[in-house]
Amino acid sequence: MLFRSHMGRTMSVIVGSGEYTYRVEEGWAKLPPGYEMNDIGGVGVDRQDRVYVFHRGAHPMLVFDREGNFLRSWGDGIFSRPHGVHIAPDDSIYCTDDGDHSVRKCTLEGKVLLTLGIPGRPAPKGSGEPFNRCTHTALSPQGDIYVSDGYGNSRIHKYSPDGKLLFSWGETGTDPGQFNLPHNISCDADGWVYVADRENHRIQVFDGNGRFETQWHNMHRPSGMYMPPGKCPICYIGEIGPYLASNRGMPNLGPRISIVDNSGKLLARLGKVPSAGVEPGQFLSPHGMCVDSRGDLYVGEVALTAWPSLFPSVPVPRPLRCLQKFTRLRPGA
């Protein structure tokens, strides 16, 4: 659901439904002169509700406070193609770079603490060895590191906290335990591992040893995924819409955000029916998400990459919005 409501003298866009209703904060991120924001691979939030935007351009990590004020940037000369961000309970930040086939664990100020993979040296495509265009990371309750190795491999790798490869699982296919572009990964407080199996249109759930447990459907090309810390978490799923000429712009396929419980039951959806767009509350290609301590949602998009597939006859507009903040509205507030 999407509608406009009067808030004082301004018009606010309201999206979602029930307990998961949000106000779109237009123009939230305030960039300093000379900065721009390009396709966003990932978004994370630390314990002080500072927001980390991992984008594909100069100053790849942009840091804001929760009001959208710019704090700092870092990462120049380090990253090739930002793809995913995961902030650990100790406020270290895992940055997945599918352009140079690596994962870097950093401090919140950008100091590299650990590197997984050999930057710039991909494993052979389809070999199952880490990495060939890895996509995202997650941490187990014990601190083990899961990496989804999605574009060039159909594989999940599990590492010890100090970076030793423990084991891997998965192969290309459509059966349980097989993948067709594992694009994102999360882990909950009970150790269950959730994999966004994008081109199979599903989330697969595994135990910590890679044993298949169940799968969720009722989604279209799940690309982004976020689970807040804790037991029985809510899962936010960023779905990208269809790109084929025959179904482009058709209703009920995205792009959108779906909010589900930890059994996969749909709780709410954000986004406008029937199609993609650039109005507040609409999406082009939701790719990275996070939720702060107040329940506010931040969505980063690879809008520049998606535009030619969504609107092939329209030149890409510049600038093009790639980040939105959604303030959660509590019932009775």
Instruction: Examine the pLDDT at 333 and tell me if it is beyond 90.
Output: no
Q: Let me know the angle formed at the C-alpha of 272 by 270 and 274, rounded to the nearest 5 degrees.
A: 130
Whether the pTM exceeds 0.75: the reply is yes
User: What DSSP string runs through 155-203?
Assistant: EEEEE-TTS-EEEEE--BSSSTT-BS-EEEEEE-TT--EEEEEGGGTEE
Q: What is the pLDDT of residue 4?
A: 52
Phi first, then psi: give them for residue 155, nearest 5 degrees. Answer: -150, 145
Question: Residues 151-182: pLDDT tens digits?
Answer: 999 999 999 999 999 999 999 999 999 999 99
For residue 269, CA distances in Å to 12, 89, 171, 259, 293 come to 18, 28, 31, 6, 21
Contact 134, 119 (CB under 8 A): no
Residues 82-98, mean pLDDT to the nearest whole number: 97
Helices (H) and strands (E) in the chain, counts: 1, 26
CA atoms lying within 13 Å on the CB side of residue 171: 2
Superfamily of structural domain 25-328: TolB, C-terminal domain (2.120.10.30)
Sheet holding 145-149, edge to edge: 136-139, 145-149, 155-159, 165-169
Q: What is the pLDDT of residue 7?
A: 46
Residue extents of the structural domains in the chain: 25-328
How far is 200 from 174, CA to CA, in rounded Å?
A: 7
Instruction: Examine the pLDDT at 272 and tell me if it is beyond 90.
Output: no
Give the number of residues written for the chain: 333
How far is 43 from 291, CA to CA, in rounded Å?
A: 9
Residues 299-327, mean pLDDT to the nearest whole number: 97
> Alpha-carbon Rg of the chain, whole angstroms?
19
Nearest CA to 269 out of 3, 12, 18 is that of 18
How far is 45 from 304, CA to CA, in rounded Å?
A: 23
CA atoms lying within 13 Å on the CB side of residue 7: 10
Instruction: Examine the pLDDT at 91 and tell me if it is beyond 50.
Output: yes
How far is 111 from 195, CA to CA, in rounded Å?
A: 28
Identify the band that residue 233 occupies on the pLDDT scale cut at 50, 70 and 90.
confident
Residues 223-248, mean pLDDT to the nearest whole number: 92
How far is 175 from 148, CA to CA, in rounded Å?
A: 17
Percentage helix, strand, coil, to 5, in the chain? 5, 45, 55
